[in-house]
Structure 1
Amino acid sequence: MAKSKGDGATAKTRGEAIGVITKGSLVEGLEMKLDSAQNVEDMKAGKFVVIEGDKNDFFSMVTDMRLDANNQEVLLHPPGREDDILRKVLAGTSTYNIVSLRPMLMMPKGAVDDDGPRPVKAIPSHFSEVQEAMEHDVAKIFGKEGDPEGRYFSIGNPLDMDTQVCLDMIRFAERSNGIFGKTGTGKSFLTRLALCGLIHYDKAVNLIFDMHNEYGFKAMKENGSSSTFVKGLKQLFGERVAIFSLDPQSTRARGVQADHEVYISYDQITVEDIAPLQDELRLNPTAVESAYLVYAIYKERWLRTLLALEGPDVEEFAREIGAHAGSLVALHRKLKRLENFPFMVSKVTDGDVVDRIMEYLDKGINVVLEFGQQTSMLCYLLVANIIARRIHEMYVKKSERFYATQRTEDQPRQLMITIEEAHKFLNPTAAKQTIFGTIAREMRKYYVSLLVVDQRPSSIDDEVLSQIGTRITALLNDEKDIQAVLTGVSGTEGLRSVLASLDSKQQALILGHAVPMPVVVKTRDYDTQFYKDMGCLDDLPEAERKAKIDKGTVALYGDN
């Protein structure tokens, strides 16, 4: 039975009254006159409040504040700094503060938890009371970590509140997601948090293209102190994470033994892997067409054959296959750079690395591919394209088999691929050529989604951005980047001001598929308590630690 407004039990759960609604609309949002006892400096953009209507509670976000006055004469002759009494007399009568609110969700009074919050389709009446949100309000909207289903993962706290804001990890794994923010705002830290949630609750298996060696093992703390390091995914989750390395020597120098060393043969590279590198290699379209001519004759040996040529032989070869000589010479010269990569070999002797990665993923073991000192953008684009393309091909086959048999044992594990510098893969030109553009547009039809990390979301193709389910965004200053992040979101004016006013560290605006409403959070600390919450092996009793290691070893290698 629903409780009435005057019910004592309800009163105990109400937050402090901070003002009343004075005007507004469904489209443009509402305005609250701040109570004279409240300090306007306590009202921060992104703060979470609750409007108590007659029939519904409206969960809302503070988007703007302004100072106002009944009598403009007061503003022409303001009281001096020493006139403290006069200033207090004027406050709340002649002068007052207006706070702009954006209602995000509404819930009927007396609704049971199963009803859940609903989209806003009404507004509260004049003089409806506005209250500070309380812990139970936040939990009602965002859930609480520790539920039996393992659905909710705490990503941080609302501003000025000590309670959890949780991502719905089931919904997070369902779609491609983005983590955005300008350089130095902690994107890698946010990415580690999101990956920890996916791994801890086993909602997706992950393939992480780790360009700067920040996710597998130790990484430098976000405060930039060279003497302070935080644990990587391998240290937190042990055998549930495998490290593959393109630069084994660099990996060993950091005190880490890679689970697998990565080598790629020239015969594993297709023209489709080269085409997206046009900008990086400064190739014209004719050069790519010439590559297809070589492939048509030599098939998988096309690149090895081309790179074996020297000087004048390239022009002669162009005449033989009917290619434009100048374009083929340019293609040959640019692709010669691949021979400088130590992981490129004529023949792979230790098995196909993609098959090996797939074995780990099939077992539910997350793979971090470290690049070591091979941090050139050409290297990153090439390797990520080659591996992701073939992994996707395998997932398409597995998915088609599942759709045909409809047997549970044939259902592929949900895979999330993490890429940094995402605009290099997903700009309007590359998105039509790379496998990553295909994955983003497929909407997990084949059980593969993306976690894109980037500082310039405005450079990402609009169609791809529209498919990003959840956006976790740190501070952005560029107006084009802010507009890109808010593409397809209603009420963008208020959110734009919130996004531009974030702190440069440990604050983020989260919106989209995995949260019921946009929310600004102070992100969770990545510290020893977090390690314990994730079940870090180093922090477990010896017997339990050994049992977990043994269990992981069996998962990796079987009982033998």
Structure 2
Amino acid sequence: MEDHSMTSEYIHTPHPGTGPRRLGTVIGGSHSSGVDVKVDGDSSIEDIRVGSHVTIRSTSTRFFGMITDVSLKSTDPSLASQTQHSSNQLFIEILAGTTAYGVFKVRPRLVLPNVLGGNSEMLSKVRSVPVHFSPVIEASEADYATVFGQEDGRHFWIGSPLDIETKICLDMNTFVQRSNGVFGKSGTGKSFLTRLLLAGIIQKTDAVSLIFDMHNDHGWQGRDRERGLRPKGLKQLFPSRVTIFTLDAQSSLRRGVQFESEIQIPYADIEPEDVELLASTLNITDNGVQAVYRLARHLGRQWLKKFLEFSNAKDLNSLAEEIHEAPSTLSALRRRLERLERMPYLTKDSLADPLGSILDFLQRGTHIVLEFGDHRSLADYILVSNLLTRRIREKYIQWTQRAATTNQSEPRPLVICIEEAHAFLDSSIGAETTFGAIAREDRKNNITLMVVDQRPSSLDPDVISQIGTRIIYPLDNDRDIASALSGAPDSGELRGVLAGLDAQQQALVFGYAVPTPIVVKVREYGSPDSYRQLVDSAMYSASSSYDEKGRDLLFP
């Protein structure tokens, strides 16, 4: 039998210039708090970066871990009072590395296979610690490939580590199995990363996505104000795989968008739940929300159209008496709901059916971007996104239940992408909304969410607990940081890692789709080379997403 034990040839420390640098030596630590590593004399504490990864080559085991802290130590307590020698170079050289030295903390998270060319299926969790004096070495390209995979039919390149130019990949099939979150303060790059992740779903999975594109960024063309660019949207990259619907045909035409059709929503589709979600935006009181439910029971499916036709006080008083409601409550409610009459995509035509066409495209494997045009108020976004998602969820539940009792196949997995997610998943209402139900229980119905938000502390904690993979850009508010990291392994250490990220392009990734937390420098999006890389990488995708038409349009 072949011996895969660690050999002296395998664990030798690379010579300078021949491979990853040796950074230090294990001098202590524990399984619960991580190991302490003394910086080697040939290395500098200034070169040790929190968030970087290393391998620890113990007697018979290779550990893979993240640097979570750096500190300065000394063996002589009186050293702190010897500042008068700070300009004496000889004094400094004598003490450096002996009396005064640097230490960094490593959190070992995985045990790597003891054979070159291993893969992520051969990884195991850490249940011990390396022995004293084990060498600690920078993680190599091969180490990263072993842990995070290489770009192939299911792995999608999202960026590189902080300390080496190699590709870090997400397993996209795993990614879409659960709901996911992208968090970060404004201006950090959430929209670009969201578009990259959606491109990965298109390329590497059989799932489809429905993107509620509030800012018209993801479908045809986005806007990067800082760099003065207009990055291409998903429709330009994958024209045969992506279809755009719009709420505002005039806006779409003005911007040169190639869209399928304009969405119109009948009043009859608006249910009390939609109004309840809009309550704070429309300034509707709790009594007003309860009145909406009474009106729907009393007036039927056309309750909104009929209620808005009550134009005088006498008729409203009679209606109030019929449903046992205060006339003043109905009068105030009607004034608030009149705002809906100014939404041009709402129609009194009960035959309009925006859902049928959307579902047909989704089940054919076409990804849908619904752009809002100039109708970009929060009320527009909440109403349309919640209404369509509720009806799509009802259909998916029917289809999965039918598939469980017949020979029919289950519906194609669906990822619903929502920005400003706190509007739907606020801690006060998230548990009761359609989006909250999807996050908690709808993996079984083949629906998951991609939640994008800059205020994770506003999200319902139960919803956050169901988010499988989280990608976190810098956040300023302590409550937002705590919410984004809630439930994470060693969240205290990850908080320190998050605090050290650059303001843009660096993000912390952890959860279901990666074997261990990692800080990545997110890959570029917006240059011709970035488009070429995105389209060309689909050629060896597991899904049928290679789009020759898209490549010809981008690179004639």
Q: Give me the TM-score of the superposition, normalised by structure 2.
A: 0.92
State the alpha-carbon separation in 2 of the partners of residues 122 and 479 from structure 1: 33
1:550 Cα deviation after fit = 11
- Contact 2:246-2:263 at 8 Å conserved across structures: yes
Measured against aligned partners, the alpha-carbon deviations of 1:341-371 in whole angstroms (never above 9, x if no partner) come to: 111111166x411111111101111110111
One-letter code of the match for 1:39?
S
- Contact 2:6-2:59 at 8 Å conserved across structures: no
- Contact 2:535-2:547 at 8 Å conserved across structures: no
One-letter code of the match for 1:288?
V
State the alpha-carbon separation in 2 of the partners of residues 406 and 121 from structure 1: 45
Measured against aligned partners, the alpha-carbon deviations of 1:411-451 in whole angstroms (never above 9, x if no partner) come to: 21100000011111111222133200000011411000000
- Contact 2:210-2:416 at 8 Å conserved across structures: yes
Q: Say if 2:137 is the partner of 1:131.
A: yes
State the alpha-carbon separation in 1 of the partners of residues 159 and 546 from structure 2: 31
One-letter code of the match for 1:393?
E
1:373-384 to 2 correspondences below 5 Å: 373-384=374-385
SS in 2 for 1:177: strand
Q: Say if 2:162 is the partner of 1:159.
A: yes
Q: Say if 2:326 is the partner of 1:324.
A: yes
1:499 Cα deviation after fit = 0.8
Pick from 180, 183, 186: which aligns with 2:186? 183
1:396 Cα deviation after fit = 0.6
114-123 or 302-311, larger mean C-alpha shift: 114-123
State the alpha-carbon separation in 2 of the partners of residues 362 and 497 from structure 1: 44
Which residue pairs with 2:173 in the alignment?
A: 170
Measured against aligned partners, the alpha-carbon deviations of 1:429-485 in whole angstroms (never above 9, x if no partner) come to: 221332000000114110000000001111111111000000000001211111111
Measured against aligned partners, the alpha-carbon deviations of 1:118-148 in whole angstroms (never above 9, x if no partner) come to: 11111111111100000000000000002xx
1:80 Cα deviation after fit = 5.3
1:11 Cα deviation after fit = 6.4
Q: 1:34 to 1:446 in 2, by over 3 A?
A: same
Measured against aligned partners, the alpha-carbon deviations of 1:253-278 in whole angstroms (never above 9, x if no partner) come to: 11113211011111111112212222
1:297 Cα deviation after fit = 2.5
Q: Say if 2:343 is the partner of 1:341.
A: yes
Which residue pairs with 1:278 in the alignment?
A: 279
State the alpha-carbon separation in 2 of the partners of residues 548 and 82 from structure 1: 65
Measured against aligned partners, the alpha-carbon deviations of 1:303-339 in whole angstroms (never above 9, x if no partner) come to: 0001112241323321233222222222211111111
Which residue pairs with 2:231 in the alignment?
A: 230
State the alpha-carbon separation in 2 of the partners of residues 211 and 114 from structure 1: 38
Q: 1:19 to 1:396 in 2, by over 3 A?
A: same
SS in 2 for 1:7: helix
Q: Say if 2:520 is the partner of 1:514.
A: no
Which residue pairs with 2:25 in the alignment?
A: 20
State the alpha-carbon separation in 2 of the partners of residues 5 and 550 from structure 1: 50
- Contact 1:169-1:203 at 8 Å conserved across structures: no
Which residue pairs with 1:556 in the alignment?
A: none
State the alpha-carbon separation in 2 of the partners of residues 500 and 547 from structure 1: 40
Q: Is there any run of 5+ residues in structure 2 with no aligned partner, and where?
A: 540-544
Pick from 104, 118, 133: which aligns with 2:124? 118
256-265 or 307-316, larger mean C-alpha shift: 307-316
Q: 1:42 to 1:25 in 2, by over 3 A?
A: same
SS in 1 for 2:130: coil
State the alpha-carbon separation in 2 of the partners of residues 8 and 288 from structure 1: 69
State the alpha-carbon separation in 1 of the partners of residues 481 and 367 from structure 2: 32
- Contact 1:236-1:536 at 8 Å conserved across structures: no
- Contact 1:182-1:476 at 8 Å conserved across structures: yes
Q: Say if 2:8 is the partner of 1:6.
A: yes
- Contact 2:52-2:519 at 8 Å conserved across structures: yes
Which residue pairs with 1:84 in the alignment?
A: 89
Which residue pairs with 1:204 in the alignment?
A: 207
1:243-262 to 2 correspondences below 5 Å: 243-262=244-263
Q: Is there any run of 5+ residues in structure 1 with no aligned partner, and where?
A: 540-544, 553-560
1:100 Cα deviation after fit = 1.1
One-letter code of the match for 2:518?
V
SS in 2 for 1:174: coil
14-23 or 411-420, larger mean C-alpha shift: 14-23
* RMSD (Å) for aligned C-alpha atoms: 2.4
Q: Say if 2:475 is the partner of 1:480.
A: no
One-letter code of the match for 2:46?
E
- Contact 2:278-2:383 at 8 Å conserved across structures: yes
One-letter code of the match for 1:496?
R
Q: 1:346 to 1:502 in 2, by over 3 A?
A: same
Which residue pairs with 1:533 in the alignment?
A: 533
124-133 or 287-296, larger mean C-alpha shift: 287-296
Q: Give me the TM-score of the superposition, normalised by structure 1.
A: 0.91
Measured against aligned partners, the alpha-carbon deviations of 1:393-420 in whole angstroms (never above 9, x if no partner) come to: 111111111111244xx22110000001
1:108 Cα deviation after fit = 4.9
State the alpha-carbon separation in 2 of the partners of residues 127 and 433 from structure 1: 55
Q: Percent identity?
A: 40
Q: 1:550 to 1:123 in 2, by over 3 A?
A: closer
Which residue pairs with 1:145 in the alignment?
A: 151
1:57 Cα deviation after fit = 1.1
Which residue pairs with 2:297 in the alignment?
A: 296
State the alpha-carbon separation in 1 of the partners of residues 123 and 21 from structure 2: 22
362-371 or 194-203, larger mean C-alpha shift: 194-203
State the alpha-carbon separation in 1 of the partners of residues 357 and 274 from structure 2: 20
SS in 2 for 1:412: coil
Pick from 53, 63, 70: which aligns with 1:58? 63
452-461 or 281-290, larger mean C-alpha shift: 281-290
Which residue pairs with 1:558 in the alignment?
A: none
Which residue pairs with 1:308 in the alignment?
A: 309
1:510 Cα deviation after fit = 0.2
SS in 1 for 2:210: strand
Q: Say if 2:472 is the partner of 1:470.
A: no
- Contact 2:417-2:452 at 8 Å conserved across structures: yes
Which residue pairs with 2:542 in the alignment?
A: none
- Contact 1:424-1:430 at 8 Å conserved across structures: no
111-120 or 460-469, larger mean C-alpha shift: 111-120
1:380 Cα deviation after fit = 0.6
423-432 or 1-10, larger mean C-alpha shift: 1-10
Which residue pairs with 1:457 in the alignment?
A: 456
- Contact 2:119-2:149 at 8 Å conserved across structures: no
1:549 Cα deviation after fit = 4.2
Measured against aligned partners, the alpha-carbon deviations of 1:34-88 in whole angstroms (never above 9, x if no partner) come to: 1122121211110011111122111110111111112233321236564333322
Aligned residues between the structures: 538
Which residue pairs with 1:542 in the alignment?
A: none
Q: 1:427 to 1:183 in 2, by over 3 A?
A: same
State the alpha-carbon separation in 2 of the partners of residues 115 and 346 from structure 1: 56
One-letter code of the match for 1:374?
H
Pick from 41, 47, 52: which aligns with 2:52? 47
